[in-house]
């Protein structure tokens, strides 16, 4: 599978994501700088990494969501290309409008950095076929703005359409309905605050993140 | 010409920052503060020919996230 990782000034999980993708797919991803205006020919999957793009200026993800490469990512996502946004990448996806809602300051204002239990709410997606429905997995979070909020009707729609991919098993940051990860309506765009790329090898303390990329590889390739 | 853009959280949107400021005010002994909401002020220096709708477009496209925020523009000065 030919993958690409978008790199913004201030991204800091881009290399972790690249290592995870290379381990799972056997092929190093293309690292695509934010000033590029096109994805490499034949890209089959795009990852928006965690970090603090543009220093979180204005709002987390706001500047990155207006960068030149993002127009290409939006076009590709609208054509059905699988896209994952992790942490800051999730914030970027909500800022582009590819995903609904917003990620606000954590309810207790603290930066949360620890492994958290997540419930797989929908295992029938491009990204979650490596998990069982309702399974509890352990993946680290590290964020200050992970408090997912959206209108009640939007939340109902997300839940009704099976678009909540992951839910925190217990409150982590004040997110509405403990939502940790959501999909767009066609199911090819996933945004999640937890970092699957940090749960790849036994030394990471959990390998539960690996199955996300393995599942994706199986469904896409 | 100056245009000042005031960005505030929509009513009902939880404002943890405002809450923390409120607690700090109480900690300093100020009583009678019922609520605190924190927002942003962005000052633009624009050409006189810049229309209201141009500034509104800037707000909608970038300055405010209208999912959670309202904005108000004051011109002049």
Which letter does DSSP use for residue B29 in this model?
A: T
Domain ranges of chain B: 2-75
Rounded Cα distance between A169 and A220, Å, is 29
Model confidence over A49-108: pLDDT tens digits? 999 999 999 999 999 999 999 999 999 999 999 999 999 999 999 999 999 999 999 998
Alpha carbon distance A188, A148 (integer Å): 20
Domain count, chain A: 1
Length of chain A: 221
Per-residue confidence in pLDDT tens, chain A, 221 aa: 999 999 999 999 999 999 999 999 999 999 999 999 999 999 999 999 999 999 999 999 999 999 999 999 999 999 999 999 999 999 999 999 999 999 999 998 899 999 999 999 999 999 999 999 999 999 999 999 999 999 999 999 999 999 999 999 999 999 999 999 999 999 999 999 999 999 999 999 999 999 999 999 998 87
Query: Which residues in A38-111 belong to E strands, given as ranges?
Result: 45-48, 83-86, 102-104
B2-75 folds as Mth169; Chain: A , (3.30.1280)
Convert the pLDDT of each residue in B37-48 to its tens digit: 999 999 999 999
A13 an active-site residue? no
Please tell me the distance in Å from B30's CA to the nearest CA on chain A.
22
- What pTM, to 2 d.p., does this model score? 0.94
Q: Which residue of A has its CA nearest to B16?
A: A107
What the block records as the tokens of A2 is 């030919």
Q: What is the mean pLDDT of residues B21-41?
A: 96
Could you tell me which residues are beta bridge partners of residue B6?
A: B41, B72
ipTM tops 0.90: no
| Alpha-carbon gap, residue A93 to A50, rounded angstroms | 12
How far from chain centre, in Å, is Cα A22?
17
The CATH number that applies at residue A159 is 3.40.50.880
A19 reaches B (C-beta below 8 A): no
Q: Do A150 and B67 touch (CB under 8 A)?
A: yes
Residues B44 and B1: beta-carbon distance below 8 Å = no
Domain containing A73 equals: 3-219
């Amino acid at each position: 599978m030919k993958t690409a990782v978008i790199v913004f000034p201030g991204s800091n999980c881009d290399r972790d994501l690249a290592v995870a993708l290379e381990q799972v797919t056997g092929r190093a991803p293309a690292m695509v700088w934010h000033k590029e205006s096109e994805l490499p020919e034949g890209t089959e999957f795009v990852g928006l990494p965690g970090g603090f793009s543009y220093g979180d200026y204005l709002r987390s993800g706001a500047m990155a969501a207006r960068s030149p490469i993002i127009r290409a990512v939006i076009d590709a996502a609208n054509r059905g290309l699988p896209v994952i946004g992790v942490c800051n990448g999730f914030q970027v996806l909500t800022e582009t409008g590819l995903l609904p809602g917003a990620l606000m300051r954590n309810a207790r204002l603290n930066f949360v950095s620890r492994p958290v239990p997540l419930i797989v709410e929908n295992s029938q997606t491009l990204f979650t076929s490596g998990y069982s429905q309702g399974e509890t997995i352990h993946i680290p979070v590290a964020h200050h703005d992970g408090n997912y909020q959206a209108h009640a009707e939007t939340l109902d729609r997300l839940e009704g359409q099976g678009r909540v991919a992951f839910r925190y098993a217990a409150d982590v940051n004040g997110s509405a309905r403990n939502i940790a990860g959501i999909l767009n309506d066609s199911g090819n765009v996933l945004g999640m605050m937890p970092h699957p790329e940090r749960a790849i090898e036994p030394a990471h303390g959990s390998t539960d993140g690996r199955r996300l990329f393995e599942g994706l590889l199986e469904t896409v390739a | 010409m100056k245009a000042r853009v005031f960005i505030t959280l929509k009513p009902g949107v939880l404002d943890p920052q405002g809450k923390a400021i409120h607690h700090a005010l109480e900690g300093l002994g100020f009583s009678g503060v019922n609520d605190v909401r924190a927002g942003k002020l962005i000052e633009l220096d624009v050409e006189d020919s810049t229309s209201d709708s141009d500034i509104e477009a800037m707000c909608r496209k970038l300055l405010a996230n209208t999912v959670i925020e309202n904005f108000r523009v004051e011109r002049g000065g």
